[in-house]
Every structure is written in C-alpha cells, then in structure tokens.
Amino acid sequence: MKVIFITSNEGKFREAKSIGEKYGIEVEWRKEEYLEPQGNDLEEIARKSAEMLSKKIKEPFFIEDSGLFIPALKGFPGPYSSFVFKTIGNEGILKLMDGVEDRRAYFLAVVAFFDGKEILTFKGRVDGRIAKEMRGDKGFGFDPIFEYDGRTFAEMGDEKNEVSHRRRALEELFRYLAKK
Ligand code: ITT
C-alpha cells in the first residue's frame, strides 16, 4: 500500500519512509506549499492544514505537525518549533536553558490523514531531556540537544525511529491502515 506524505522537511520524510517499511507501507514524498495556520494546539493546526490541502489533493495523504515542548520554558517552542529552529536554533535553546535545573522536554507529533473523504488524527509523544551541549551528527532539527536515555537523538541514528514521537504517531496510522 502507498500513502503520500506532504512535507517540506526531508528529515521527517526519511524517518517516515523508514518506519513505513517496517509496516509494509510505501511512503511517497510530495512537497506542496501550504499556509500553516497559527495556534497553540498541534492537533488543530494539523487538522486545519489537512482540511485545506484536501480541497486540492484528492488522493489519500497525510501531513505531520511536530514540536519540542520544554516545561521549564512554559512549553516553548511547542507549536512554534519550526520558526524557532530556523531563527535561534539549537544554540538559542541551549542559551535559554543555561542554569535551568529542570531539563525535562518532550516531542509531540500529530499526524493528520485524509482518506479521500475525512480527516483522522493520530498522536505520538516521547519524553527526554535537554542536553547541556549539542552532541551527535545524525538526524535533524533539535536532535543534537534532545537526550533520550543518556544519548541524544542525533547520536542514536536509526535507533531513534524505534522510540520517537513520529514513530508512535505513524505506528497508530499504519496500524489503522493495515486493518482496513
Ligand atoms: P512541514 O513542511 O512538515 O510542516 P516543518 O519542518 O515546518 O515541515 P513542523 O512545522 O512540524 O515541520 O515543525 C516542527 C519543527 O520541530 C521542525 O522544524 C524541527 O525543527 C522540529 N522537530 C520535529 N520533529 C523533530 C525530530 O524528530 N527531531 C528534531 N527536531 C524535530
């Protein structure tokens, strides 16, 4: 079975493709510009984006909205992760966390799937910590500063795909598709 993944982020696509292979699902990459609505709720943003895209794309597709949430920073950067990564980046987050003891952080992913008729959403979360410095050269985005079980996601390579927020959300979607 084949599904289209609409994203501008190659890192997200590569991971989704590799996760799909484990479930016998072929994930095809499509880049399609769309205006992401602003908001504080990832699920709402993902659903609205998929709704807009569904007016144009009639085949089954999914999008995925994700973000890094840091409780000590009141949930920042959360739904603004993409902008924050492109502006202050990992160095900026490390600076904001300088001297902060509570280093807990989590990634959330919401997948919004359009089956040709309606939109369904699936969520995944992974808990970790913000490292003291950047480590590792694999992955993308905030991976070098997100520590899971002692290693950063950027040090874990493909092992990240066993435990990530994206894996958990996509697993829900792929299980749903396999049952159909
Ligand atoms: P889309 O076209 O799919 O929207 P995007 O990069 O703008 O691509 P988001 O709006 O979902 O994606 O923003 C999520 C940001 O959070 C993304 O830019 C990354 O910097 C970061 N992020 C999400 N998942 C990540 C992961 O697994 N590892 C590291 N950083 C991640």
12 lines ligand 1 (CB under 6 A): yes
Flag the least confident range among 16-25, 32-41, 44-53, 115-124: 32-41
**CA dihedral angle for residue 175, residue 7, residue 145, residue 15, rounded to 10 degrees:** 40
What is the domain extent for residue 68? 2-179
Question: Is the CB of residue 66 below 6 angstroms from any atom belonging to ligand 1?
Answer: yes
Whether the predicted pLDDT of 180 surpasses 80? no
Q: How confident is the model at residue 36, as a pLDDT? A: 86
Residue 98: phi, psi to the nearest 5? Answer: -60, 125
Domain count, the chain: 1
**Cα 34 to ligand 1 centre (Å):** 15
Residue 56 C-alpha to ligand 1 middle, in angstroms? 23
Any atom of ligand 1 within 6 Å of the Cβ of 77: no
H helix or E strand, kind and range, residue 52 = helix 42-54
Going by alpha carbons, the residue nearest to atom 25 of ligand 1 is 141
Is the pLDDT score of 35 beyond 80? yes
For residue 37, name the pLDDT band (cuts at 50, 70, 90).
confident
Ligand 1 lined by 152 (C-beta under 6 Å): no
66 Cα: distance to centroid of ligand 1 (angstroms): 5
- CATH number for the domain spanning 125: value is 3.90.950.10
41 classed as catalytic: no
Active-site entry in 65, 102, 127, 149: 65
Question: Residue 117 C-alpha to ligand 1 middle, in angstroms?
Answer: 27
C-alpha to C-alpha distances, 88 to 44, 69, 85, 123, 161, nearest whole angstrom: 25, 15, 6, 27, 26
In this prediction, residues 129-140 reach a mean pLDDT of 97
**Is 67 near ligand 1, meaning CB less than 6 Å away?**
yes
**pLDDT digits 0-9 by tens, 62-97:** 999 999 999 999 999 999 999 999 999 999 999 999
